[in-house]
Amino acid sequence: MVDQSSGLSKVKDSLTQKIFLGNEPNAELIAILTVYFVQGILGLSRLAVSFFLKDELMLSPVQVSALLGIVFLPWMIKPVFGFISDGLPIFGYRRRPYLILSGILGTASWASLATIVHTSWAATLAIALSSLSVAMSDVIVDSLVVERARDESQAKAGSLQSLCWGASAIGGLITAYSSGLLLQYFTTRTVFGITALFPLIVSGVAWLIAESPVNQDAQDSNQTNPLPIKHQLEQLRQAISQKTIWLPMAFIFIWQATPNAESAFFYFSTNELHFEPEFLGRVNLVGSFASLAGVWIFQRFLKSIPFRVIFAWSTVLSSLLGMTMLLLVTHTNRLLGIDDHWFSLGDSLILTVMGKIVFMQVMVLAARLCPSGVEATLFALLMSIYNSAGTVSQAFGALITYWLGITATNFESLWLLVLITNLSTLLPLPFINWLPAAEEQTEAAKDGEEAFLPDLMSELVLREPESKIVE
Protein backbone atom coordinates (compact mmCIF):
# COMPACT_ATOMS: atom_id res chain seq x y z
CA MET A 1 0.00 0.00 0.00
CA VAL A 2 2.90 2.28 0.81
CA ASP A 3 4.51 1.47 -2.54
CA GLN A 4 1.26 2.30 -4.36
CA SER A 5 0.98 5.62 -2.54
CA SER A 6 4.59 6.39 -3.32
CA GLY A 7 4.02 5.54 -6.99
CA LEU A 8 1.02 7.85 -7.24
CA SER A 9 3.05 10.61 -5.59
CA LYS A 10 5.81 10.18 -8.16
CA VAL A 11 3.30 10.30 -11.03
CA LYS A 12 1.80 13.50 -9.58
CA ASP A 13 5.22 15.07 -9.16
CA SER A 14 6.12 14.12 -12.73
CA LEU A 15 2.91 15.66 -14.10
CA THR A 16 3.48 18.79 -12.02
CA GLN A 17 6.98 19.26 -13.39
CA LYS A 18 6.46 18.23 -17.04
CA ILE A 19 2.89 19.27 -17.76
CA PHE A 20 2.35 22.17 -15.36
CA LEU A 21 5.99 23.38 -15.41
CA GLY A 22 6.35 23.09 -11.65
CA ASN A 23 3.08 24.88 -10.78
CA GLU A 24 0.77 23.14 -8.35
CA PRO A 25 -2.26 21.90 -10.38
CA ASN A 26 -4.95 23.27 -8.05
CA ALA A 27 -8.48 24.31 -8.99
CA GLU A 28 -7.56 27.95 -9.51
CA LEU A 29 -4.71 27.13 -11.89
CA ILE A 30 -7.03 24.91 -13.91
CA ALA A 31 -9.52 27.79 -14.09
CA ILE A 32 -6.89 30.25 -15.31
CA LEU A 33 -5.60 27.83 -17.94
CA THR A 34 -9.17 27.10 -19.05
CA VAL A 35 -9.81 30.82 -19.70
CA TYR A 36 -6.69 31.04 -21.87
CA PHE A 37 -7.66 27.81 -23.65
CA VAL A 38 -11.13 29.20 -24.41
CA GLN A 39 -9.60 32.40 -25.77
CA GLY A 40 -7.55 30.30 -28.15
CA ILE A 41 -10.41 28.03 -29.17
CA LEU A 42 -12.71 30.96 -30.03
CA GLY A 43 -10.78 31.10 -33.31
CA LEU A 44 -13.29 28.43 -34.36
CA SER A 45 -15.57 31.18 -35.66
CA ARG A 46 -12.97 33.29 -37.50
CA LEU A 47 -13.60 31.86 -40.96
CA ALA A 48 -17.34 31.61 -40.29
CA VAL A 49 -17.46 35.36 -39.61
CA SER A 50 -15.67 36.10 -42.88
CA PHE A 51 -18.00 33.91 -44.93
CA PHE A 52 -21.06 35.23 -43.08
CA LEU A 53 -20.20 38.83 -43.89
CA LYS A 54 -19.34 38.01 -47.49
CA ASP A 55 -21.99 35.49 -48.53
CA GLU A 56 -24.99 36.13 -46.27
CA LEU A 57 -24.81 39.86 -45.59
CA MET A 58 -23.31 40.48 -49.04
CA LEU A 59 -20.81 43.03 -47.76
CA SER A 60 -18.07 44.32 -50.05
CA PRO A 61 -14.32 44.11 -49.22
CA VAL A 62 -14.41 47.80 -48.29
CA GLN A 63 -17.32 47.32 -45.91
CA VAL A 64 -15.70 44.28 -44.27
CA SER A 65 -12.47 46.22 -43.69
CA ALA A 66 -14.40 49.06 -42.08
CA LEU A 67 -16.38 46.64 -39.91
CA LEU A 68 -13.23 44.85 -38.71
CA GLY A 69 -11.76 48.19 -37.70
CA ILE A 70 -14.84 48.98 -35.59
CA VAL A 71 -15.09 45.64 -33.81
CA PHE A 72 -11.44 45.88 -32.76
CA LEU A 73 -12.17 48.97 -30.64
CA PRO A 74 -12.44 47.08 -27.29
CA TRP A 75 -8.80 46.07 -27.59
CA MET A 76 -7.86 49.73 -27.90
CA ILE A 77 -9.24 50.58 -24.46
CA LYS A 78 -7.98 47.60 -22.47
CA PRO A 79 -6.50 49.74 -19.65
CA VAL A 80 -10.02 51.04 -18.95
CA PHE A 81 -11.20 47.52 -18.12
CA GLY A 82 -8.33 47.18 -15.67
CA PHE A 83 -9.26 50.41 -13.90
CA ILE A 84 -12.94 49.40 -13.76
CA SER A 85 -12.12 45.99 -12.31
CA ASP A 86 -9.76 47.44 -9.72
CA GLY A 87 -11.96 50.37 -8.72
CA LEU A 88 -15.51 48.98 -8.97
CA PRO A 89 -15.81 45.63 -7.18
CA ILE A 90 -19.08 43.75 -7.70
CA PHE A 91 -20.47 42.37 -4.42
CA GLY A 92 -17.03 42.92 -2.97
CA TYR A 93 -15.15 40.97 -5.66
CA ARG A 94 -12.89 42.46 -8.36
CA ARG A 95 -12.14 39.46 -10.58
CA ARG A 96 -14.67 36.65 -10.38
CA PRO A 97 -17.86 38.64 -11.27
CA TYR A 98 -16.19 40.27 -14.27
CA LEU A 99 -15.13 36.86 -15.60
CA ILE A 100 -18.69 35.62 -15.19
CA LEU A 101 -20.07 38.68 -16.98
CA SER A 102 -17.56 38.35 -19.82
CA GLY A 103 -18.60 34.73 -20.40
CA ILE A 104 -22.30 35.61 -20.45
CA LEU A 105 -21.65 38.53 -22.80
CA GLY A 106 -19.63 36.30 -25.14
CA THR A 107 -22.31 33.63 -25.26
CA ALA A 108 -25.05 36.21 -25.87
CA SER A 109 -23.13 37.81 -28.75
CA TRP A 110 -22.40 34.51 -30.53
CA ALA A 111 -25.92 33.24 -29.91
CA SER A 112 -27.35 36.39 -31.48
CA LEU A 113 -25.14 35.87 -34.55
CA ALA A 114 -26.50 32.34 -34.77
CA THR A 115 -30.14 33.43 -34.62
CA ILE A 116 -31.33 37.04 -34.87
CA VAL A 117 -28.60 38.98 -36.67
CA HIS A 118 -29.61 39.79 -40.25
CA THR A 119 -28.13 43.23 -40.94
CA SER A 120 -24.64 44.65 -41.14
CA TRP A 121 -25.23 47.00 -38.20
CA ALA A 122 -26.49 44.16 -36.00
CA ALA A 123 -23.51 42.03 -37.05
CA THR A 124 -21.10 44.84 -36.20
CA LEU A 125 -22.65 45.22 -32.74
CA ALA A 126 -22.65 41.48 -32.05
CA ILE A 127 -19.07 40.93 -33.17
CA ALA A 128 -17.94 44.02 -31.23
CA LEU A 129 -19.59 42.62 -28.08
CA SER A 130 -17.83 39.29 -28.59
CA SER A 131 -14.57 41.19 -28.91
CA LEU A 132 -15.41 43.13 -25.74
CA SER A 133 -16.06 39.85 -23.94
CA VAL A 134 -12.62 38.43 -24.81
CA ALA A 135 -10.82 41.71 -24.06
CA MET A 136 -12.47 41.93 -20.65
CA SER A 137 -11.69 38.34 -19.67
CA ASP A 138 -8.18 38.82 -21.00
CA VAL A 139 -7.51 41.80 -18.73
CA ILE A 140 -8.93 40.00 -15.69
CA VAL A 141 -7.07 36.75 -16.17
CA ASP A 142 -3.84 38.60 -16.97
CA SER A 143 -4.12 40.42 -13.65
CA LEU A 144 -4.60 37.08 -11.86
CA VAL A 145 -1.51 35.66 -13.54
CA VAL A 146 0.62 38.70 -12.71
CA GLU A 147 -0.50 38.61 -9.07
CA ARG A 148 0.49 34.97 -8.75
CA ALA A 149 3.68 35.33 -10.76
CA ARG A 150 5.06 37.69 -8.12
CA ASP A 151 5.29 34.73 -5.72
CA GLU A 152 7.30 32.56 -8.14
CA SER A 153 10.78 31.54 -7.17
CA GLN A 154 13.69 32.44 -9.44
CA ALA A 155 13.85 28.81 -10.61
CA LYS A 156 10.21 28.94 -11.78
CA ALA A 157 10.30 32.49 -13.19
CA GLY A 158 8.03 32.74 -16.23
CA SER A 159 6.69 29.19 -15.90
CA LEU A 160 3.10 30.29 -15.20
CA GLN A 161 3.02 32.71 -18.13
CA SER A 162 4.52 30.11 -20.45
CA LEU A 163 1.93 27.59 -19.27
CA CYS A 164 -0.89 30.04 -20.00
CA TRP A 165 0.54 30.77 -23.45
CA GLY A 166 0.70 27.04 -24.13
CA ALA A 167 -2.96 26.57 -23.17
CA SER A 168 -4.01 29.30 -25.59
CA ALA A 169 -1.76 27.92 -28.32
CA ILE A 170 -3.34 24.46 -27.97
CA GLY A 171 -6.80 25.98 -28.29
CA GLY A 172 -5.71 27.89 -31.38
CA LEU A 173 -4.18 24.80 -32.99
CA ILE A 174 -7.32 22.75 -32.38
CA THR A 175 -9.55 25.28 -34.10
CA ALA A 176 -7.18 26.33 -36.89
CA TYR A 177 -8.18 23.46 -39.16
CA SER A 178 -11.62 22.64 -37.71
CA SER A 179 -12.75 26.23 -38.35
CA GLY A 180 -12.70 25.47 -42.06
CA LEU A 181 -13.72 21.80 -41.82
CA LEU A 182 -16.96 22.60 -39.99
CA LEU A 183 -18.01 25.00 -42.74
CA GLN A 184 -17.83 22.12 -45.23
CA TYR A 185 -20.74 20.42 -43.43
CA PHE A 186 -22.54 23.13 -41.45
CA THR A 187 -23.80 26.66 -41.97
CA THR A 188 -22.04 29.68 -40.52
CA ARG A 189 -24.87 30.14 -38.03
CA THR A 190 -24.38 26.59 -36.77
CA VAL A 191 -20.71 27.34 -36.21
CA PHE A 192 -21.70 30.49 -34.31
CA GLY A 193 -24.04 28.38 -32.16
CA ILE A 194 -21.22 25.96 -31.35
CA THR A 195 -18.89 28.87 -30.54
CA ALA A 196 -21.50 30.33 -28.16
CA LEU A 197 -21.02 27.37 -25.82
CA PHE A 198 -17.38 28.10 -25.02
CA PRO A 199 -17.68 31.49 -23.25
CA LEU A 200 -20.01 29.82 -20.74
CA ILE A 201 -17.03 27.70 -19.69
CA VAL A 202 -15.32 30.93 -18.60
CA SER A 203 -18.35 31.84 -16.47
CA GLY A 204 -18.31 28.36 -14.96
CA VAL A 205 -14.64 28.19 -14.01
CA ALA A 206 -14.74 31.73 -12.61
CA TRP A 207 -16.18 30.24 -9.43
CA LEU A 208 -12.91 28.35 -8.93
CA ILE A 209 -10.92 31.58 -8.61
CA ALA A 210 -9.71 31.97 -5.04
CA GLU A 211 -10.56 35.58 -4.27
CA SER A 212 -11.19 37.28 -0.96
CA PRO A 213 -13.86 40.01 -0.92
CA VAL A 214 -12.69 43.60 -0.72
CA ASN A 215 -13.03 44.92 2.83
CA GLN A 216 -15.98 47.30 2.86
CA ASP A 217 -14.21 49.80 5.10
CA ALA A 218 -11.17 49.78 2.87
CA GLN A 219 -13.41 50.18 -0.12
CA ASP A 220 -15.14 53.21 1.38
CA SER A 221 -11.77 54.66 2.28
CA ASN A 222 -10.53 54.26 -1.26
CA GLN A 223 -13.64 55.95 -2.59
CA THR A 224 -13.05 59.01 -0.45
CA ASN A 225 -9.29 59.01 -0.91
CA PRO A 226 -8.36 57.94 -4.44
CA LEU A 227 -4.71 58.88 -4.06
CA PRO A 228 -3.33 55.47 -5.14
CA ILE A 229 -5.08 55.76 -8.53
CA LYS A 230 -3.99 59.39 -8.90
CA HIS A 231 -0.46 58.41 -8.01
CA GLN A 232 -0.51 55.62 -10.60
CA LEU A 233 -1.86 57.96 -13.28
CA GLU A 234 0.81 60.49 -12.42
CA GLN A 235 3.50 57.82 -12.75
CA LEU A 236 2.02 56.82 -16.09
CA ARG A 237 1.97 60.44 -17.28
CA GLN A 238 5.58 60.92 -16.30
CA ALA A 239 6.56 57.72 -18.08
CA ILE A 240 4.92 58.50 -21.42
CA SER A 241 6.24 62.06 -21.37
CA GLN A 242 9.78 60.72 -21.62
CA LYS A 243 11.26 60.92 -25.09
CA THR A 244 12.83 57.48 -24.71
CA ILE A 245 9.33 56.02 -24.37
CA TRP A 246 7.04 58.02 -26.64
CA LEU A 247 9.40 57.97 -29.65
CA PRO A 248 9.48 54.14 -29.84
CA MET A 249 5.72 54.14 -29.24
CA ALA A 250 5.29 56.50 -32.20
CA PHE A 251 7.47 54.26 -34.37
CA ILE A 252 5.43 51.17 -33.49
CA PHE A 253 2.21 53.05 -34.31
CA ILE A 254 3.50 54.16 -37.72
CA TRP A 255 4.80 50.66 -38.46
CA GLN A 256 1.52 48.96 -37.52
CA ALA A 257 -0.76 51.59 -39.11
CA THR A 258 0.34 51.02 -42.72
CA PRO A 259 -2.56 49.70 -44.86
CA ASN A 260 -3.22 46.02 -45.49
CA ALA A 261 -5.05 44.03 -48.15
CA GLU A 262 -6.49 41.38 -45.86
CA SER A 263 -10.20 41.71 -46.65
CA ALA A 264 -9.74 42.13 -50.40
CA PHE A 265 -7.46 39.11 -50.53
CA PHE A 266 -10.02 36.95 -48.70
CA TYR A 267 -12.58 37.78 -51.39
CA PHE A 268 -10.01 37.00 -54.09
CA SER A 269 -9.20 33.64 -52.47
CA THR A 270 -12.83 32.55 -52.25
CA ASN A 271 -14.49 34.20 -55.27
CA GLU A 272 -11.65 34.11 -57.81
CA LEU A 273 -9.49 31.18 -56.72
CA HIS A 274 -12.49 29.29 -55.30
CA PHE A 275 -10.68 28.12 -52.17
CA GLU A 276 -12.97 25.97 -50.04
CA PRO A 277 -13.39 26.57 -46.28
CA GLU A 278 -11.62 23.29 -45.52
CA PHE A 279 -8.53 24.45 -47.42
CA LEU A 280 -8.59 27.84 -45.71
CA GLY A 281 -8.67 25.96 -42.41
CA ARG A 282 -5.61 24.06 -43.59
CA VAL A 283 -3.90 27.39 -44.31
CA ASN A 284 -4.76 28.53 -40.77
CA LEU A 285 -3.29 25.33 -39.35
CA VAL A 286 -0.05 25.86 -41.28
CA GLY A 287 -0.03 29.44 -40.05
CA SER A 288 -0.42 28.31 -36.42
CA PHE A 289 2.58 26.00 -36.67
CA ALA A 290 4.49 28.72 -38.51
CA SER A 291 3.78 31.09 -35.62
CA LEU A 292 5.29 28.61 -33.18
CA ALA A 293 8.28 28.25 -35.49
CA GLY A 294 8.68 32.02 -35.56
CA VAL A 295 8.66 32.16 -31.76
CA TRP A 296 11.29 29.41 -31.57
CA ILE A 297 13.53 31.06 -34.20
CA PHE A 298 13.37 34.36 -32.38
CA GLN A 299 14.11 32.86 -28.96
CA ARG A 300 16.89 30.66 -30.33
CA PHE A 301 18.72 33.00 -32.70
CA LEU A 302 17.40 36.57 -32.77
CA LYS A 303 16.47 37.84 -29.31
CA SER A 304 19.86 39.45 -28.71
CA ILE A 305 19.91 41.36 -32.01
CA PRO A 306 19.44 45.16 -31.61
CA PHE A 307 15.96 46.51 -32.23
CA ARG A 308 17.00 48.75 -35.10
CA VAL A 309 18.76 45.95 -36.95
CA ILE A 310 15.99 43.39 -36.68
CA PHE A 311 13.22 45.90 -37.48
CA ALA A 312 15.07 47.22 -40.52
CA TRP A 313 15.92 43.82 -41.99
CA SER A 314 12.58 42.20 -41.17
CA THR A 315 10.70 45.15 -42.69
CA VAL A 316 12.67 44.99 -45.93
CA LEU A 317 12.47 41.19 -46.16
CA SER A 318 8.74 41.20 -45.37
CA SER A 319 8.11 43.76 -48.09
CA LEU A 320 10.07 41.72 -50.63
CA LEU A 321 8.45 38.42 -49.65
CA GLY A 322 5.03 40.07 -49.71
CA MET A 323 5.61 40.92 -53.36
CA THR A 324 5.32 37.20 -54.15
CA MET A 325 1.57 37.68 -53.80
CA LEU A 326 1.74 39.49 -57.15
CA LEU A 327 2.45 36.11 -58.73
CA LEU A 328 -0.80 34.76 -57.29
CA VAL A 329 -3.10 37.71 -58.03
CA THR A 330 -1.85 37.88 -61.64
CA HIS A 331 -1.96 34.07 -61.96
CA THR A 332 1.72 34.06 -62.95
CA ASN A 333 2.25 31.12 -60.60
CA ARG A 334 0.18 28.98 -62.96
CA LEU A 335 2.53 29.81 -65.82
CA LEU A 336 5.38 28.64 -63.56
CA GLY A 337 3.56 25.37 -62.97
CA ILE A 338 2.75 26.10 -59.30
CA ASP A 339 -0.79 25.27 -58.21
CA ASP A 340 -2.73 28.07 -56.45
CA HIS A 341 -3.22 25.92 -53.34
CA TRP A 342 0.44 24.98 -52.92
CA PHE A 343 1.55 28.53 -53.62
CA SER A 344 -0.79 29.90 -50.93
CA LEU A 345 0.34 27.34 -48.36
CA GLY A 346 4.03 28.07 -48.93
CA ASP A 347 3.52 31.81 -48.99
CA SER A 348 1.46 31.73 -45.80
CA LEU A 349 4.12 29.67 -44.06
CA ILE A 350 6.98 32.06 -44.85
CA LEU A 351 5.11 35.30 -44.22
CA THR A 352 3.66 34.06 -40.92
CA VAL A 353 7.10 33.10 -39.62
CA MET A 354 8.38 36.56 -40.53
CA GLY A 355 5.35 38.23 -38.97
CA LYS A 356 5.76 36.35 -35.70
CA ILE A 357 9.47 37.21 -35.49
CA VAL A 358 8.68 40.90 -35.85
CA PHE A 359 5.81 40.69 -33.39
CA MET A 360 8.10 39.04 -30.83
CA GLN A 361 10.44 41.98 -31.21
CA VAL A 362 7.53 44.36 -30.60
CA MET A 363 6.74 42.54 -27.36
CA VAL A 364 10.36 42.70 -26.20
CA LEU A 365 10.52 46.40 -27.06
CA ALA A 366 7.31 47.05 -25.13
CA ALA A 367 8.81 45.30 -22.11
CA ARG A 368 11.99 47.37 -22.34
CA LEU A 369 9.98 50.60 -22.38
CA CYS A 370 8.07 49.85 -19.16
CA PRO A 371 9.71 51.49 -16.13
CA SER A 372 9.41 50.02 -12.65
CA GLY A 373 6.17 50.75 -10.84
CA VAL A 374 3.82 51.05 -13.83
CA GLU A 375 4.81 47.97 -15.83
CA ALA A 376 1.38 46.42 -16.21
CA THR A 377 -0.50 49.69 -16.83
CA LEU A 378 2.02 51.05 -19.32
CA PHE A 379 2.23 47.73 -21.11
CA ALA A 380 -1.56 47.67 -21.47
CA LEU A 381 -1.37 51.20 -22.84
CA LEU A 382 1.34 50.19 -25.31
CA MET A 383 -0.80 47.29 -26.51
CA SER A 384 -3.76 49.64 -26.87
CA ILE A 385 -1.67 51.93 -29.07
CA TYR A 386 -0.53 48.91 -31.08
CA ASN A 387 -4.13 47.75 -31.50
CA SER A 388 -5.29 51.27 -32.39
CA ALA A 389 -2.74 51.31 -35.18
CA GLY A 390 -4.23 48.03 -36.41
CA THR A 391 -7.61 49.75 -36.69
CA VAL A 392 -6.00 52.59 -38.67
CA SER A 393 -4.40 49.97 -40.90
CA GLN A 394 -7.81 48.45 -41.64
CA ALA A 395 -9.24 51.90 -42.39
CA PHE A 396 -6.42 52.79 -44.79
CA GLY A 397 -6.77 49.41 -46.47
CA ALA A 398 -10.51 49.93 -46.91
CA LEU A 399 -9.98 53.43 -48.33
CA ILE A 400 -7.40 52.30 -50.90
CA THR A 401 -9.54 49.29 -51.82
CA TYR A 402 -12.43 51.68 -52.50
CA TRP A 403 -10.28 54.07 -54.56
CA LEU A 404 -9.03 51.19 -56.72
CA GLY A 405 -12.55 49.96 -57.37
CA ILE A 406 -11.94 46.48 -55.97
CA THR A 407 -15.19 44.67 -55.24
CA ALA A 408 -16.33 41.13 -54.51
CA THR A 409 -16.00 40.27 -58.19
CA ASN A 410 -13.63 42.88 -59.66
CA PHE A 411 -9.96 42.14 -58.87
CA GLU A 412 -8.30 43.85 -61.82
CA SER A 413 -6.55 46.36 -59.56
CA LEU A 414 -5.75 43.92 -56.75
CA TRP A 415 -2.14 43.71 -57.93
CA LEU A 416 -1.85 47.47 -57.38
CA LEU A 417 -3.30 47.16 -53.87
CA VAL A 418 -0.75 44.44 -53.05
CA LEU A 419 2.02 46.64 -54.44
CA ILE A 420 0.91 49.69 -52.45
CA THR A 421 0.47 47.82 -49.17
CA ASN A 422 3.85 46.13 -49.47
CA LEU A 423 5.69 49.32 -50.34
CA SER A 424 3.95 51.16 -47.50
CA THR A 425 5.57 48.82 -44.99
CA LEU A 426 8.86 50.57 -45.83
CA LEU A 427 7.52 53.97 -44.72
CA PRO A 428 8.63 53.64 -41.06
CA LEU A 429 12.28 53.01 -42.00
CA PRO A 430 13.26 56.74 -42.05
CA PHE A 431 12.22 56.83 -38.38
CA ILE A 432 14.23 53.77 -37.34
CA ASN A 433 16.41 55.94 -35.09
CA TRP A 434 13.41 56.47 -32.84
CA LEU A 435 14.03 52.95 -31.54
CA PRO A 436 16.57 52.41 -28.74
CA ALA A 437 20.19 52.08 -29.87
CA ALA A 438 22.08 48.85 -29.26
CA GLU A 439 23.91 50.22 -26.22
CA GLU A 440 20.61 51.47 -24.69
CA GLN A 441 19.06 48.06 -25.24
CA THR A 442 21.97 46.29 -23.55
CA GLU A 443 21.92 48.71 -20.61
CA ALA A 444 18.18 48.18 -20.13
CA ALA A 445 18.66 44.42 -20.01
CA LYS A 446 21.41 44.80 -17.40
CA ASP A 447 19.09 46.93 -15.30
CA GLY A 448 16.82 43.93 -14.87
CA GLU A 449 13.97 44.71 -17.28
CA GLU A 450 14.39 41.22 -18.70
CA ALA A 451 12.51 39.99 -15.65
CA PHE A 452 9.31 41.49 -17.05
CA LEU A 453 9.53 39.48 -20.28
CA PRO A 454 7.85 36.30 -19.01
CA ASP A 455 4.71 38.31 -18.28
CA LEU A 456 4.35 38.89 -22.01
CA MET A 457 4.09 35.29 -23.18
CA SER A 458 0.29 35.27 -23.32
CA GLU A 459 0.42 38.37 -25.54
CA LEU A 460 2.02 36.35 -28.34
CA VAL A 461 -1.22 34.59 -29.18
CA LEU A 462 -4.05 36.32 -27.38
CA ARG A 463 -3.62 39.91 -28.42
CA GLU A 464 -1.95 39.67 -31.77
CA PRO A 465 -4.10 41.26 -34.47
CA GLU A 466 -4.27 39.73 -37.89
CA SER A 467 -0.87 39.40 -39.45
CA LYS A 468 0.68 42.74 -40.20
CA ILE A 469 2.83 41.21 -42.90
CA VAL A 470 1.08 42.10 -46.13
CA GLU A 471 -0.93 39.20 -47.50
Q: What is the pLDDT along the chain (471 residues), one digit of tens a residue?
A: 545 556 556 555 555 655 655 566 678 888 888 998 998 899 899 899 999 999 999 999 989 988 887 888 888 887 777 777 777 788 888 788 999 999 999 999 999 999 999 999 999 999 999 999 998 888 888 777 766 655 544 444 446 666 777 788 788 888 888 889 899 899 999 999 999 999 999 999 998 887 777 764 444 444 444 445 566 677 677 777 788 888 888 998 999 899 988 889 999 999 999 999 989 888 888 888 887 788 778 777 887 788 888 888 888 988 998 899 999 999 999 999 999 999 888 878 888 888 877 777 776 777 677 665 555 567 677 778 888 888 889 889 999 999 999 999 899 999 999 999 999 999 999 999 998 876 555 554 444 444 333 333 334 333 443 433 333
Give the DSSP H or E segment for 169.
helix 159-185
User: Are the C-beta atoms of 36 and 462 separated by less than 8 Å?
Assistant: yes
Q: How many residues comprise the chain?
A: 471
Q: Name beta bridge partners: 93.
A: 90
Tell me, what's the pLDDT at 237? 75
Calpha distance 109→113 (Å, rounded): 6
Taking CA atoms, 420 is separated from 230, 267, 391, 426, in Å, by 45, 18, 18, 10
Tell me, what's the pLDDT at 9? 60
Tell me, what's the pLDDT at 24? 65
Of 212, 209, 211, residue with least CA distance to 28: 209
Alpha-helical (H) ranges within 299-374 are 307-322, 325-329, 332-335, 340-369
Tell me, what's the pLDDT at 215? 64
User: Are the C-beta atoms of 463 and 360 separated by less than 8 Å?
Assistant: no
Of 201, 196, 190, residue with least CA distance to 167: 201
Calpha distance 2→8 (Å, rounded): 10
Of 36, 308, 315, 344, residue with least CA distance to 161: 36
pTM confidence score: 0.77
User: Are the C-beta atoms of 221 and 359 separated by less than 8 Å?
Assistant: no
Tell me, what's the pLDDT at 113? 96
Q: Is 449 strand, coil or helix?
A: helix
Q: Is 229 strand, coil or helix?
A: helix
Burial class (CB in 10 A: 0-12, 13-18, 19+), 61: buried
